[in-house]
Structure 1
Amino acid sequence: MKNIYKTFCLFALSGIALTSCEDSDDHTGESIIEYTKIGATVTSESQSYTVSESDIHTSGDYTIPYYITLNEPVTVTTIIDLEQTGGEADSDDFETTSITVSPGDTTGTGYITIYSNAYVEGTETIELTAKSRANLNINDYTIDITIDDDYINDQLNFELNWEGSFTISGTGADLTLDFCAIDFDVYIYDENLTDTGFYGAATESCPESTTLSGLPDGLYYVIISLFDNPLSEYNVGAEVPLTFSWSQEYFDSVAGSITMNEFNTDYTSGTYVIATITIEDGYIYTVEAY
């Protein structure tokens, strides 16, 4: 009789242990006990998009939302990702955010952002596929995006800088001459030495800086002109260095500077060629010292 009683108790305890294990299942994907995953559907307004990179350069980055709807609320936090499964675009061209569904919720939203990066790339494509990290049985969802109408930066940035000073020693007090009191301007002449009418760097500023774009292909001269010099009355002949620098965003090789020492504080006028600019295909710039 005692043996029967002990056997009965042993079976009862085993049943409690099994029940306890089943109750600890947290549906995170880590449990060894199988269960039926919650069904879910990933959608977007379309599964095929064509985006103009030139348009979004003007209007701002292009954002595509995508959504998930669950058949029932989740009991733990659930995450859905978009993984790139095709196409030649990379992280310079787009970015995705995951969808996070909190316990008790049945919906969520993520985003795909398309960037305009101004690299010369041609038409690019992206294929993205939805993946669940755990807990969900999602539909086969793929979205295809084409990025065309390549935006190419055709702007050449340049600056003429002559900031500096010269101090004249006096018996009473020293006098410091500020070179920025002198007014230098920058002009662009074509290969026939005809003024192109570009006056973006003729503004009485120190330094003068502007952006060049829209000129036809060809050879151009960068002209430095002394417009006004109130320091000439001091007759000290102090050298005024001028540095012409340039750059083109997204084109690392298009950058440099040239310094000229043709002017001093006694000059009241003067015009010099400091550099040449060659333009090809509307956006390829080659700048060289003259």
Structure 2
Amino acid sequence: MKNIINKIGVFTLACFAFTSCETEDDNTGASLLDYSPATITLSSSSPTTFDESAIDADVASTYQIEVTATLASSQPVDAVIDLVQTGGSASASDFSAHTITIPAGSLTASATVDILQTGDIEGSETLEISGKSRANFNVSPFTFNATIENDYINDHLDLTLSWDGSAEDGDLSIMSFCDMDFDLVLYDESFTALGYVLGSSACPEEDYLNGLSDGTYYLVSELYANPYSDLGFTDVVPLTLSWSQEHFDTSGSLSSDTTTLSTAAGDQGALIVVLEVTNGYNYTLSPFQ
């Protein structure tokens, strides 16, 4: 009887092993399929010369190299191709290269290399773009050569004049100083007013100046309106002019503590900043002595 039981046990184990071998990897999907490498062809009909100064952020597609990837037959997995720089004098800040993905079952897809404004004085630059495949795909030889010329130089000096605050005196309180209206006036070297640089009723005031000839100028604050001047408050108004220039190290701020809530409208000169302009776009700002 024991021999029969043993034989049955051996037969059962053999059947179990055989069944296990047949059902293994049922859920492995496509990962174990042996694909033969498919070939991807890249092409582009984009312009080969780009004017960096003409780039408009609102019309970015005008300043893109579009590259199209094509397969001769659809594949059961995604084809992913990175657009990469393989030559040229352009640096990584001059462009942004994207990735082409042809979805499984599809034959073609596109992606772009975006040409960027850097603000650097670099002269004409060259850029060579090629495609690099991920995974099991071949890429036909492809290079796209572009030239980036006419450097974009940012001459916008961004300005912000701020003065908000709060004050309290007994039962009387001012929640915000923004009902006061400060402006900023531009003067030339002989202190002749050239006009408002910041002249709205916003709080803070924000705008930019550009297009100035080389020389010395003055940025002068003007208290245009003050509804608090008769309330008896003597609190100092935190009047501050801040500036910056994209793509340049030009940034900073200067403050004045001479204006109070009792200062009458029409007061000028609480904050005077000397502005030096060279080359039409280099700005140096300093306190008036």
TM-score category of the 2 structures, normalised to the smaller one: 0.7 to 0.9
Within the candidate set 249, 256, 270, 2:252 is matched to 256
Within the candidate set 232, 235, 239, 2:236 is matched to 239
Query: Residue 206 of structure 2: SS of its match in structure 1?
Result: strand
Following superposition, the deviation at residue 254 of structure 1 comes to 1.3
| Cα distance in 1, alignment partners of residues 220 and 240 from structure 2 | 13
Tell me if structure 2 keeps the 8 A contact 1:57–1:151.
no
1:116 aligned residue: 117
- Name the amino acid aligned to 2:56: H
- What is the 5 A alignment of 1:1-290? 26-27=34-35, 37-45=37-45, 49-61=48-60, 62-133=63-134, 135-169=136-170, 174-177=171-174, 178-197=176-195, 199-251=196-248, 253-268=249-264, 269-272=266-269, 273-290=271-288
Query: Residue 146 of structure 2: SS of its match in structure 1?
Result: strand
| Cα distance in 2, alignment partners of residues 96 and 283 from structure 1 | 30
- Cα 1:141/1:225, change in 2 over 3 Å: same
- Cα 1:206/1:41, change in 2 over 3 Å: closer
Following superposition, the deviation at residue 59 of structure 1 comes to 4.4
- Cα 1:40/1:289, change in 2 over 3 Å: same
- Name the amino acid aligned to 2:164: E
Tell me if structure 1 keeps the 8 A contact 2:183–2:222.
yes
| Cα distance in 2, alignment partners of residues 226 and 160 from structure 1 | 12
| Cα distance in 1, alignment partners of residues 233 and 39 from structure 2 | 86
- Name the amino acid aligned to 1:108: A
- Cα 1:75/1:236, change in 2 over 3 Å: closer
1:30 aligned residue: none
- Name the amino acid aligned to 2:132: K
Unaligned runs of 5+ in 1: 1-23, 28-34
Greater shift, 254-263 or 101-110, is seen at 101-110
Query: Residue 110 of structure 1: SS of its match in structure 2?
Result: strand
Tell me if structure 1 keeps the 8 A contact 2:40–2:69.
yes
2:27 aligned residue: none
Q: CA RMSD in A?
A: 2.4
Greater shift, 133-142 or 87-96, is seen at 133-142
Following superposition, the deviation at residue 90 of structure 1 comes to 3.1
Number of residue pairs matched by the alignment: 252
TM-score normalised to the size of structure 2? 0.77
